Structure formats: C-alpha cells, structure tokens
Amino acid sequence: MKALHFLPYLRVFEAVARIGSVRQAADELGLSPGAVSLQLRRLSDAIFD
C-alpha cells in the first residue's frame, strides 16, 4: 500500500475547487499562486503514479 503522503495537498485542492481560482485560493491559504500550482501538480503525480 502506498503511503498517504499526498494528504496535505488535499487542503489546497479543496480550496481551489471551492473558490474556483488558484490566485484567490492562494490568497486565502497565505501561499503564492506558484506554490498552490506546485501542490496541485504533486497531488496529481501522487494519485496517478
């Protein structure tokens, strides 16, 4: 079984899905838009690898 190392990225995914904007989700989370995009990419990689 794979480790659930992607769980911290779900907070970012939830915020983007709820708000509908990477930039606005980043503002809410106190992150840069680039950091949000990176976490979304890492979540995708973790799920689909």
| Domain residue limits, the chain | 9-48
pLDDT value, residue 35: 97
DSSP string, 1-49: ----TTTTHHHHHHHHHHHS-HHHHHHHHT--HHHHHHHHHHHHHHHH-
Q: How far apart are CA 9 and CA 36, in angstroms?
A: 9
Residue-wise pLDDT tens digits, 1-49: 467 788 889 999 999 999 999 999 999 999 999 999 999 999 999 888 7
Q: How far apart are CA 25 and CA 28, in angstroms?
A: 5
